Structure 1
Amino acid sequence: MEKINSFKIILLTVFGVAGSGLSKLLGGFDMTLQILIVLMIADYITGLIVAGVFKKSGKTETGALESRAGWKGLCRKGMVLLIVLVATQLDKVTGIDFIRNTVILGYVANEAISITENAGLMGVPLPGVLTNAINVLKQKAESEE
């Protein structure tokens, strides 16, 4: 029993140190980063529900849950955090506190749109104003590509 408790303490310490270091690299665990992470988790969960329960995912041919599509989604979310890390470092180099927050807010908007799209695929009624705003943002993003 004592070995289990000491292993638990070591494991929690390692995770605590790693989380603290990552938080520092990402510019601190402030409200903007917390919101981004919460929305990323919510988007991933709603994506799993759309694919697993409703079988309406646009990420797979059948629309059903697929581990490869889930892994790609996690990799994308990891890349978002890497971009936030780069933006944080750019803030440090330039001596301003603008780039990181702008990048995070951009991704917050993107995650919110994705959650809303997932809700629509589940059949949750969406206000017309919201669907119009999403369509405008999609068209704008496609025209910029």
Structure 2
Amino acid sequence: MYAPTPAPHIGFMEWWVAAEKLTENPWFTTFIIIILVDLATGFLKGFFKSSNERVNSTTGRQGLIKHTVIAGIAVIFYPLVDCWGLANYANLFLMFFIGQYGISIVENLGIMGIPLPNWITDNLEKLRNRSDKN
């Protein structure tokens, strides 16, 4: 007679061991670094004369909360997904956000007036609209 195998039990200790491995994951390290760079460039762009945006504590707080929630989701759920044996899908999640934050960083640099190649400014809507006005 066939006995079904029980579903894998994932307890706190398994999650904790997987969470400790996060610092060894280059995708996660890149994810955290790029979030910090996006926060810094988002804050600094308000100080540049070429920017039509100014430093605003409400906008800064909203951005900080948004970034913290996204990083928190990654910190909580990545180890869980890793315990399920699906770490590659969790890495795809991180790669997607690395790309999104990379676009945001490039937009922030363009808003600050830092020269960027035309093929970048032509493909990013915020920078294209800005160059059309000038």
- Which structure has the greater CA radius of gyration? 2
> Aligned residues, how many?
109
TM-score (norm 1): 0.63
Partner residue, 1:48: 43
The corresponding residue for 2:66 is: 76
Distance change in 2, residues 1:123/1:88 (3 Å): same
Give the TM-score of the pair, scaled to structure 2: 0.68
| Alpha-carbon contact 1:39-1:111 (below 8 Å) kept | yes
- Do the aligned residues in 1 keep the contact of 2:81 with 2:87 (CA within 8 Å)? no
Give me the CA root mean square deviation.
2.7
Residue 96 (1) aligns with residue 90 (2): no
Structure 2 unaligned residues grouped into runs of 5+: 1-14, 126-134
Q: Which residue of 2 aligns with 1:25?
A: 19
* Distance in 2 between residues matched to 1:116 and 1:23, nearest whole Å: 36
1:114 corresponds, among 104, 118, 123, to 104
Structure 1 residue 27 displacement after superposition:
5.1
- What is the identity percentage for the equivalent residue pairs of Structure 1 and Structure 2? 22
Shift of 1:75: 0.8
Q: Report 1 or 2 for greater relative contact order, CA contacts < 8 Å, sequence distance ≥ 6.
A: 2
